[in-house]
Amino acid sequence: MIKVGIVGGTGYTGVELLRILCAHPQVQLTAITSRKEDGLPVADMYPSLRGHVSLCFSAPEKADLGACDVVFFATPHGVAMAQARELLAAGVKVIDLAADFRLRDTKTFETWYGMPHACPDILEEAVYGLPEVNREQIKGARVIGLPGCYPTSMQLGLAPLLAQGKPLVNELGLIADCKSGVSGAGRKAEISTLLAEASDNFKAYGVKGHRHLPETVQGLEAISGRKVGLTFVPHLVPMIRGIHSTLYAQLLPEARDTDFQALYENHFAQERFVDVMPAGSHPETRSVRASNMMRIAVHRPGNGDLLVILVVEDNLVKGAAGQGVQCMNIMFGLDEAAGLMHVPVLP
């Protein structure tokens, strides 16, 4: 059994980790920290876990995280990088669901997250936890920076196009029109995500700039080996879970004869958590609700020069906790799908 600790188990990605890990056949939940809730049974805060999780939250200094095999950080940005060194020294692997180990460039990190990076040397060895792109590096990683929810959908949605030897599309003019459920904003007391504000409503936000833009561009450039230009417009959908990314890419003349449906199917043929839908499909976010699956559909309206890629994922699973567990499975040599075979909940 792998001994797992969770730092910051009170937010949505934390409770989602708990939902997945408490039923994972090879995991023993060992410690869940929360300074504020020290001593409170986890199931008192989340009655959905009654009978499934018997642990209490414990203050960080009381939790023996050093005895864990791996520790997940479901914390605000900045926490994981402050604690990583000590855990690594104790032989504990680290999987961060926040942004501390996502951006390779510390200046970019500082610009977007407003704090200096605490451990550039650890960042150096950290692996970006996107299994469908970095599986081999993840196997040997000690530190994982998990992708953001939007970046996961954008990178996997565009990967088959960009991973080719020659450009197929105008890689400097990509557009990602993304829509996310409200849980993406986290379990924080904020007016803008109150039901009375966000329900029966739709809006864009962050058009001027969003932290997930540099992360996604970094990832796409790593995939293509070429410079990438991306316009990213996120929107807030009045629903709890789910991300739908609508991606637009301008075909290059020399790529007009490509069979893009086949390209996508082949690219993901071995992937257990990426489902390329039949041609003409319109995947729904609910078709992956509460599961680690991503579904992708490839469209080329009017057989013209613009590709429209539709991508859906559950932002809390494939976009966060589930992807973290997928990385853990890979790191510890388990079946990559262990504990992750939830059937999506529909309706």
- Nearest approach, Cβ of residue 304 and a second copy (Å): 7
Distances (CA, A) of 56 to 10, 28, 45: 11, 14, 10
Q: How far apart are CA 193 and CA 263, in angstroms?
A: 39
The dihedral built from the CA positions of residue 106, 107, 112 and 113, taken in this order, carries a sign that is: positive
- Nearest approach, Cβ of residue 199 and a second copy (Å): 6
Per-residue tokens: 79: 């926490």
* Pick 129 or 181: Cβ nearer a second copy: 181
179 and 235 Cβ atoms separated by less than 8 Å: yes
- Nearest approach, Cβ of residue 97 and a second copy (Å): 16
* Pick 37 or 100: Cβ nearer a second copy: 37
Contacts of 5 (CB under 8 A, 6+ apart): 30, 31, 32, 33, 63, 65, 68, 70, 71, 72, 92
Contacts of 15 (CB under 8 A, 6+ apart): 9, 46, 48, 49
* Pick 165 or 280: Cβ nearer a second copy: 280
State residue 31 phi and psi, 5-degree precision.
-155, 140
Per-residue tokens: 161: 């196009």
- Nearest approach, Cβ of residue 277 and a second copy (Å): 7
Options 22, 68, 119, 149, the catalytic residue? 149
Q: How far apart are CA 141 and CA 127, in angstroms?
A: 6
- Nearest approach, Cβ of residue 226 and a second copy (Å): 18
Distances (CA, A) of 53 to 21, 139, 163, 244: 10, 28, 42, 31
Task: Map tokens 């088959």 to a residue.
Answer: 160
- Nearest approach, Cβ of residue 187 and a second copy (Å): 6
Task: Map tokens 């904003």 to a residue.
Answer: 185
* Pick 40 or 306: Cβ nearer a second copy: 306
* Pick 36 or 165: Cβ nearer a second copy: 36
* Pick 53 or 127: Cβ nearer a second copy: 53
149 tagged catalytic: yes
Per-residue tokens: 154: 């954008």
Q: How far apart are CA 153 and CA 273, in angstroms?
A: 12
3-state secondary structure of 5: strand
The catalytic site residues sit at 149
